[in-house]
Amino acid sequence: MKDEYDFSKGERGRFSRPNAVLTPPVHLDTDVMAFLVARAEARGVTVNELVNALLKKNIELIEVAE
């Protein structure tokens, strides 16, 4: 590393995207992922589609229970 860096020509916020939506990674246990992959293949959908459908159904159930 250099002892000093010249930021005199830097532009504040140049790469900032105020409306950017970040999608955090989700890490699943190996056995959970294996189950989901098998179910997705059986239904002919992607794992993403299956997980989103399961989560949406769970959200509906939670909202009904409240």
How many domains are there within the chain? 1
pLDDT for 36 equals 98
- Position 37 confidence tier, pLDDT thresholds 50, 70, 90: very high
Q: Domain containing 61: what range?
A: 30-65
Band of pLDDT at residue 32, cut at 50, 70 and 90:
very high
Nearest to 28 by CA among 15, 18, 17, 40: 40
**38 within a domain of the structure (yes/no):** yes
pLDDT in tens, 9-29: 999 999 999 999 988 999 999
**Residue at 44 is within a domain:** yes
47 in a structural domain = yes
d(CA 17, CA 14): 9
Provide Rg for the chain, Cα atoms.
Answer: 22
CB count within 10 Å of CB 13 equals 7
The answer to whether residue 55 sits within a structural domain is yes
Q: Which residue has the tokens 């250099």?
A: 2
Looking at the whole model, is its pTM more than 0.75?
no
